[in-house]
């Protein structure tokens, strides 16, 4: 239990999730093919009832799920998170028909979702997206352009796609669409990335979408994107905290038992102080993540700032903690298949996706000066 004072039921649930991840999800993850959707793993997440909780839980529960799963099985955590990221716009902004068609299948793990925002020229600067949605009659558009760095692409069953339907720069004129993967003109290809989960590009060659495919109102798609990211950014921090805690969990017994220089590593002040620093930073990041999630659940107006702070601190902390853990383990931690070798590859991407660390700092500063003007 942390200083955030989780309720006993919450702490017990987190422990149960860690056990499930280790006993039932880890074996399925190990059988998966890197760079491809592990549909057996997604189906098991659905069978355990975890995917349905994406649509019934608040931000804090989402963070607890992601942190707990990440400590024992990062692949399961990522599979769950990507289902939520891709399907949350449907849950929050979709029509009754869209929700009825897709959410039950996302919940049971039979349909894979994806969030298609980034483009070759619009990564961290999401408002610069250029995918064109050209009018083709009344309430009908043709999507033309490319999306890139899309998790679960090109293997997802449907995509939440953001395209420019109107004039104007930045966030103006962006509309969100639900696009099934079998829509004519939509193709994709995988990208060979460091991440073990699939990431690819999508090509839209005059792909037809209609009013029935809208997510929210025309021209208000950027709000759909930001609402989704404000919910999921703290939980990216939770994923990072889970990885940091896993690295710390591995480092404690290693340094306590490893003999070097005439004694145990833990008896060397240079080592024990590093371990203490790893623990302090991990706990501080955890508390900020929980606080941001609680603010989201309470409807506080400063959610963008808190969410950005949580993601920034937690992802930067995880990078530090995992790196220190590798250093204290030595060469063994760099061997393929070692937990820390796996975490070292996993921990880098969260500092980039869903808004790079530099973007989070810009958001924080913008919100701070905005609050000054509002006084």
Which residues 6+ apart lie within 8 Å of 16 measured at CB? none
Tokens of 209: 């979408």
- For the chain, where are the alpha helices, taking DSSP H only? 8-20, 26-31, 39-47, 59-72, 74-93, 96-108, 221-257, 269-298, 303-329, 339-346, 357-373
**Tokens 């529960």 label which residue?**
61
d(CA 246, CA 249): 5
Tokens of 125: 């600067």
Q: Rounded to the nearest 5°, which phi and psi values hold at 198?
A: -70, 135
Determine whether 354 is an active site residue. Answer: yes
Cβ distance 26 to 72 under 8 Å?
yes
- State in Å, rounded, how far the first CA of the chain is from the last one: 38
d(CA 128, CA 186): 22
Cβ distance 338 to 330 under 8 Å?
no
Catalytic residue among 354, 358, 367, 373: 354
Cβ distance 122 to 129 under 8 Å?
yes
CB atoms within 10 A of CB 7: 9
Tokens of 60: 């804090």
Cβ distance 154 to 112 under 8 Å?
no
Name the DSSP class of 33.
Answer: P
3-state secondary structure of 365: helix
The catalytic site residues sit at 354
């Amino acid at each position: 239990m942390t200083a955030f004072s989780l309720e006993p039921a919450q702490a017990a649930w987190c422990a149960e999730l860690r056990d499930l991840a280790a006993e039932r999800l880890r074996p399925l993850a190990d059988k998966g093919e890197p760079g491809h959707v592990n549909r057996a793993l997604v189906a098991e997440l659905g069978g355990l009832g975890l995917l349905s909780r994406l649509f019934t839980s608040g931000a804090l529960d989402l963070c607890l799920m992601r942190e707990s799963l990440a400590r024992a099985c990062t692949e399961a955590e990522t599979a769950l998170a990507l289902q939520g990221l891709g399907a949350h716009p449907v849950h929050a902004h979709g029509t009754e028909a869209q929700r009825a068609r897709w959410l039950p299948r996302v919940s049971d793990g039979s349909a894979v979702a994806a969030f298609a925002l980034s483009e070759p020229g619009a990564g961290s600067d999401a408002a610069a997206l250029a995918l064109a949605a050209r009018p083709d009659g009344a309430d009908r558009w043709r999507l033309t352009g490319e999306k890139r760095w899309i998790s679960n692409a090109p293997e997802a069953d449907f995509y939440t796609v953001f395209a420019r339907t109107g004039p104007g720069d930045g966030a103006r004129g962006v509309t969100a669409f639900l696009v099934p993967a079998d829509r004519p003109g939509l193709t994709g290809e995988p990208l060979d990335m460091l991440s073990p989960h699939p990431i690819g590009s999508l090509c839209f060659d005059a792909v037809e979408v209609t009013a029935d495919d809208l997510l929210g109102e025309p021209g208000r798609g950027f709000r759909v994107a930001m609402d989704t990211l404000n919910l999921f950014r703290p939980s990216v921090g939770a994923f990072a905290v889970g990885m940091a805690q896993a690295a710390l969990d591995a480092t404690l017994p290693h340094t306590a038992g490893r003999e070097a220089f005439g004694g145990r590593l833990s008896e060397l002040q240079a080592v024990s102080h590093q371990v203490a620093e790893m623990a302090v930073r991990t706990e501080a990041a955890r508390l900020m993540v929980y606080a941001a999630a609680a603010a989201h659940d309470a409807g506080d107006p400063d959610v963008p700032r808190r969410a950005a702070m949580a993601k920034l601190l937690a992802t930067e902390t995880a990078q530090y903690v995992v790196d220190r853990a590798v250093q204290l383990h030595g060469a063994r931690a760099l061997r393929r298949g070692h937990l820390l070798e796996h975490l070292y590859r996993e921990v880098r991407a969260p500092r980039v996706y869903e808004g790079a660390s530099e973007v989070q700092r810009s958001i924080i500063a913008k919100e701070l000066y905005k609050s000054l003007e509002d006084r």
